[in-house]
Structure 1
Amino acid sequence: MDKIIGTNLGNWLVLEKWMQPFIFKGTGAEDETWLNRNVPQEKLWPMMKEHRDTYVTEEDFQNIASHGLNTVRIPVPYFIFGDREPYSGCIEYLDKAFDWAGKYGLKVLVDLHTAPGGQNSYDNGGIEGVCKWSQQPDEVEFVLTVLERLAMRYRDREELFGIEVLNEPISFSVYMSAPSRKKAADKAEAKGSRHVSSRFLKKFYVQAYGRLRKILPEEKVIVFHDGFRLGMWKDFFVKHHMKNVMIDTHIYIQAMEDVTHIHSFWAYRAFIAYQQHLLKKAQKYTPVFVGEWCVCNELADKKKGHEVIRDEYEDYRKKWYRKAAVLQLNAWKDTAGFFYWNYQLYRDKEVPMYATRLDSWDLCRCWKKGWMPVRTDRFMEKL
């Protein structure tokens, strides 16, 4: 396959409140686990069906292909098969995604995005403030069986690019600096939470590879998230004789800003240059792609000096978002590829978002506003 030029279809089968808070309104829930705990099935399940029926449709796959992308990364929950109460399964929507991908010439990376008990304490892991999955052998085994069932179901589909074993199992340093680890709705449930150790993660990845490779044809890729420790892996996958594997790493300018509190383009250049260096080192052994990134940055939304009229402000935003896009696309060109986070936030592209800067996370709005090249494939060919 050519270089990955893709987008994520987040907030479809795995909900994240910040991206589209409408379903969460009035529930008191901050994550999908508590949404299901707080809202009775007879009320929530019809809402979930409507969301899944309408948030991503065949039209979106056609739109993605028309912009020169070739792959979609689809986050899925551990309860995708509908066998974990009180959650409603959603495997039929992934089936539809494969059909639509085939129709429009796209590949699919199935990304297991959540784990029971939480693998990172983030809401994107299903439950905020809780990170205990790796300490529960039965739940570790359950995740492995979910991966096996996904592999069995799609192994013969031409559209299958590969399966990503688990999204963002958190490292010690990232866990200790994550505000989310202190936001558990039930403090007793969160007791004992800690990071996913490197020792455990290496063992789990070896197990997952062994079980998936027995099922998947050799041409299908098995993907491992770097666990926020890209430099750790080196020749690990080579030493374990793993064939056709890739590493997924996530790089956000905003994450750098949250740590350094520096909002200037020289800092962005330095940060991305350092990430390029890490990517180059890692790729000596194993292909790496940037599975999540976006143009969001504080500089584009902070106009220094006097107030300006709206048109001038929009020109200012376009300038800095576009510069952030070019900076990063130029860095990603020497990797196995990339996936933008996210294809969309609000389904209705005309509705203003609850916070202005959120539109930079929405690829459809970035295309519309000229912040991202509308034909990313042709743009990449010129770099």
Structure 2
Amino acid sequence: MLNLFFFTLLAIFAFASADPIRGVNVGNWLILEKWLGGDIWNSIPNASDEWTACEALGENAPAAMQNHWSTWFTQDTVNQLASYGINTLRIPIGYWAIQPNASDPYVTGAQDYLDQAIGWARSAGLKVWVDLHGAPGSQNGYDNSGHSGTASWQTDSSNIPTTISIIEQLAAKYSGSGFSDVVTGLELLNEPISWDPQDVAITRQYYSDAYAAAQAALTDNKDLTIIIHDSFVDLSDWADFPAQVGASYNQLSLDTHIYQVFSDADNELNGSGHIVKACNFQNTVGPSNEVLPTIAGEWTAAENVCINADGSTINGTSCSSEGCQCTTDDPANWSSDLVNLVRGYVEAQMDVFEGNGTGYFFWAHTGPGSWNFMSGVQQGWIPQPLTARAFPGQCGFTLPDITAIDASKRKHKHRRVKRGLLGMF
């Protein structure tokens, strides 16, 4: 027992000494999401997701998908992201790229582009998380699963065994030679929906079985991190999961998606209200991160706020007073005051995700308005370097020297985790 204790402590120290993840999601590439844009949608206005896009394109689907894959995300994109300080890419992919079903309309071939992107990441000095974003039957009924509508992943008895088979294939391949130096994480499933406790129990059992299958399938890189999404339940509900599956601190991570645009309560907040809420996430992310590395796998600069000419802010997506601008306006036309408002919101989130968690992945590398990371850098509402702060200390702590602060935070994390472990023995 004592040897296990010290082994676990060493594993924690090794993990915590790593730099925080500063990443982006490669959205709308290997799984289409119409709202993010792209020329592929121009000829199929009635399609809503990749399933219906491929159906609508018919015999033209293979050529259209190949063209999209070849142009939406390229080596130049990777190099640009690296120049902006990004160190990791989270790349979503669907089950049909790994284990296609002949009755589905999807076009196969996306995995070849994933492999190519891993090579681009290597040349740019970046790491990659491979994210199973779409499961057979759809795990959430959203377009990001590939097929919007009914979520039958949890109810069709064949879907979960198929998904575990796919995870085994991904784990074996991407922990192996040619990939293990770049691929550092494998996410078991993106955003499985939890309508009721039974759904959570099914997802939890899937995670347990898929984690074991992935661990057994690992080849060269036995330290590949396996990631679970929180399934939209409290982070604290996953505190016992590492013990359930026998995972040490560096073998398992928890992914949480933090947005402030999808609820009525969020859309009633003004500018300062969004920052306060962002800062308050430290109260959930921090304790979770003591148990297992917790990362904001998706977050954004988007908020539905307007700024008046006098600098005051209101909630909403439109305003009529002279000089008023809203975050839903084209960011290319934002005033300096609106740029600063959004930058403050961005920096607060970055502070929490780095200072209290293990890092972040912005959604997405490109897209509309304030969902576009690269435009954010170019327009000034994403800091450069990513560690710079125009508004330090918003959340009660500062990160003025990221190298020094990272070391300090890591030491603090060691102390907190160490106390928790001592209580176990």
Q: TM-score, normalised by structure 2?
A: 0.77
Alignment of 1:32-71 (within 5 A): 32-40=50-58, 42-71=59-88
Change in Cα spacing, 1:32 to 1:154, as seen in structure 2 (3 Å) is same
Q: Is the 8 A contact 1:114 1:126 kept in 2?
A: yes
Q: CA deviation at 1:196?
A: 7.1
Q: Does 1:335 align with 2:337?
A: no
Q: CA deviation at 1:246?
A: 0.2
- CA separation in 2, counterparts of 1:23 and 1:196? 38
Pick from 346, 358, 365 the counterpart of residue 325 of structure 1: 346
Deviates more, 1:282-291 or 1:302-311: 302-311
Alignment of 1:98-117 (within 5 A): 98-117=118-137
Q: Residue type matched to 2:76 in 1?
A: E
Q: CA deviation at 1:120?
A: 1.0
- CA separation in 2, counterparts of 1:102 and 1:312? 36
Q: Is the 8 A contact 2:138 2:147 kept in 1?
A: yes
Q: Residue type matched to 1:336 in 2?
A: T
Which residue in the other structure is 1:354 paired with? none
Q: CA deviation at 1:340?
A: 0.5
Which residue in the other structure is 1:348 paired with? none
Alignment of 1:138-149 (within 5 A): 138-149=158-169
Change in Cα spacing, 1:373 to 1:260, as seen in structure 2 (3 Å) is closer
Structure 1, residues 309-357: CA drift from partner, whole Å, max 9, x if none? 9998522320211111111111112211100000012xxxxxxxxxxxx
- CA separation in 2, counterparts of 1:33 and 1:331? 37
Q: Residue type matched to 1:131 in 2?
A: A
- CA separation in 2, counterparts of 1:72 and 1:196? 33
Q: Does 1:224 align with 2:242?
A: no
- CA separation in 2, counterparts of 1:270 and 1:237? 31
Pick from 251, 254, 258 the counterpart of residue 261 of structure 2: 254
- CA separation in 2, counterparts of 1:7 and 1:313? 23
Q: Is the 8 A contact 1:77 1:115 kept in 2?
A: yes
- Count of residue pairs the alignment pairs up: 348
Structure 1, residues 124-171: CA drift from partner, whole Å, max 9, x if none? 111222111111121111111111111122112200111000000112
- CA separation in 1, counterparts of 2:371 and 2:272? 22
Which residue in the other structure is 1:187 paired with? none
Unmatched segments (≥5 aa) in structure 2: 1-17, 307-316, 390-398, 403-425
Which residue in the other structure is 2:19 paired with? 2
- CA separation in 2, counterparts of 1:44 and 1:70? 33
Which residue in the other structure is 1:344 paired with? 366
Which residue in the other structure is 1:20 paired with? 37
Q: Residue type matched to 1:339 in 2?
A: F
- CA separation in 2, counterparts of 1:308 and 1:239? 53
- CA separation in 1, counterparts of 2:301 and 2:319? 17
Q: Residue type matched to 1:373 in 2?
A: P
Which residue in the other structure is 2:11 paired with? none
- CA separation in 2, counterparts of 1:36 and 1:324? 38
Runs of 4+ off more than 4 Å: 300-304, 308-313, 377-381
DSSP 3-state at the match of 1:376: coil
Pick from 281, 284, 292 the counterpart of residue 286 of structure 1: 292
- CA separation in 1, counterparts of 2:55 and 2:116? 28
Alignment of 1:228-243 (within 5 A): 228-229=232-233, 230-243=235-248
Q: CA deviation at 1:82?
A: 6.2
Max Rg structure: 2
DSSP 3-state at the match of 2:223: coil
- CA separation in 2, counterparts of 1:114 and 1:2? 29
Q: Residue type matched to 1:170 in 2?
A: I
Q: Residue type matched to 2:62 in 1?
A: W
Change in Cα spacing, 1:381 to 1:336, as seen in structure 2 (3 Å) is farther
Change in Cα spacing, 1:222 to 1:269, as seen in structure 2 (3 Å) is same
Q: Does 1:295 align with 2:316?
A: no
Change in Cα spacing, 1:341 to 1:208, as seen in structure 2 (3 Å) is same
Which residue in the other structure is 1:382 paired with? 401
- CA separation in 2, counterparts of 1:101 and 1:147? 22
Pick from 119, 126, 130 the counterpart of residue 139 of structure 2: 119
Identity in percent:
29
Structure 1, residues 195-219: CA drift from partner, whole Å, max 9, x if none? 9711101110010100001122332
- CA separation in 2, counterparts of 1:234 and 1:274? 19
Structure 1, residues 346-372: CA drift from partner, whole Å, max 9, x if none? xxxxxxxxxxxx321000110110000
Pick from 191, 199, 206 the counterpart of residue 168 of structure 1: 191
Alignment of 1:56-205 (within 5 A): 56-81=73-98, 83-85=100-102, 86-89=105-108, 90-156=110-176, 157-172=180-195, 197-205=199-207
Which residue in the other structure is 2:15 paired with? none
Q: Is the 8 A contact 2:267 2:304 kept in 1?
A: no
Q: What is the RMSD of the two structures over their aligned residues, measured on CA atoms?
A: 2.2
Q: TM-score, normalised by structure 1?
A: 0.85
Q: Is the 8 A contact 2:139 2:152 kept in 1?
A: yes
Q: Is the 8 A contact 1:222 1:245 kept in 2?
A: yes
Which residue in the other structure is 2:336 paired with? 315
Q: Does 1:365 align with 2:381?
A: no
Change in Cα spacing, 1:298 to 1:304, as seen in structure 2 (3 Å) is farther
Which residue in the other structure is 1:274 paired with? 280
Q: CA deviation at 1:233?
A: 0.8
Q: CA deviation at 1:266?
A: 3.4
Q: Residue type matched to 1:104 in 2?
A: A
